[in-house]
Amino acid sequence: MMGGEKVVGVTVCLQPGQTFDMPLGKLLKAGVWSVLRGWGFRGLKRILLDFVPPVEKALSKAFKARNLDRLDSWHLLAIAVDPDWQGKGVSSVLLKDCFSRANHKPIHLEASSSKSRDIYKHLGFEVDEELLLGKGQVDCCGLSAKGAEAIGIPEWVMTKVRARKSECLSLRMTFRCSGRRDIRYTQE
């Protein structure tokens, strides 16, 4: 918190050609061991070998159908909004900033819940493909499971081909809130 203000939302948007690779030191500092303890090496294998390829295949198919170059698109990797601020337009403002940064290039993402899928659809993203990953192997959190618990993880591969000018922020802005819970924009 700075000066009575707090950040209520954040996005991670990767521009064309950018990856989210981290050196081993940063991974260790970020707590990769606790993730490995929770998911185990089989969980890591599932992410890299069982989950990533179907998503990549769906994206390639969607971009090919639109005659677009997927490598010239942005990837909305993550968005998070403080629970007290959900449903108040924070996601819309954050995504409009991503649309501005993308400068009319396609943006793709993977929605991991029907709630987030519906938010993205409201903002103009199209569902390219619905996937059910790990059915029979993992629960809804991606952890090893058997029987009725092994329902798998739903993923919606989505793309917004081109943001309309009205959907973009005209200035680079940061979304902040004050202690009074009012919303204001400050120019960066």
pLDDT of residue 165: 64
Q: H or E stretch including 158?
A: strand 153-160
The top-scoring range by mean pLDDT among 41-50, 110-119, 179-188 is 110-119
How far apart CA 126 and CA 161 sit, in angstroms, is 9
What is the side-by-side order of every strand in the sheet holding 74-81? 9-14, 74-81, 107-111, 153-160, 126-133
Q: Tell me which of 102 and 38 has the higher pLDDT.
A: 102
pLDDT of residue 53: 87
Grouping H, G, I as helix, E, B as strand and the rest as coil, residue 14 is strand
Fold designation for 5-178? Aminopeptidase (3.40.630)
Residue 173 burial (10 A CB sphere; 0-12, 13-18, 19+): middle
CB proximity list for 45: less than 8 A, separation 6 or greater: none
In order of 1, 73, 112, the CA distances from 119 in angstroms are 27, 20, 12
The top-scoring range by mean pLDDT among 23-32, 33-42, 139-148 is 139-148
Nearest partner of 45 among 124, 187, 141, 142, judged by Cα: 142
Torsion sign (Cα): 53, 59, 61, 67: negative
Q: How far is CA 168 from the centre of its chain?
A: 18
Q: H or E stretch including 78?
A: strand 74-81
Q: Tell me which of 169 and 92 has the higher pLDDT.
A: 92
Q: H or E stretch including 65?
A: helix 52-65
Share of the chain above pLDDT 70, in %: 77
The pLDDT tens digits for 113-137 are: 999 999 999 989 999 999 998 888 8
pLDDT of residue 153: 87
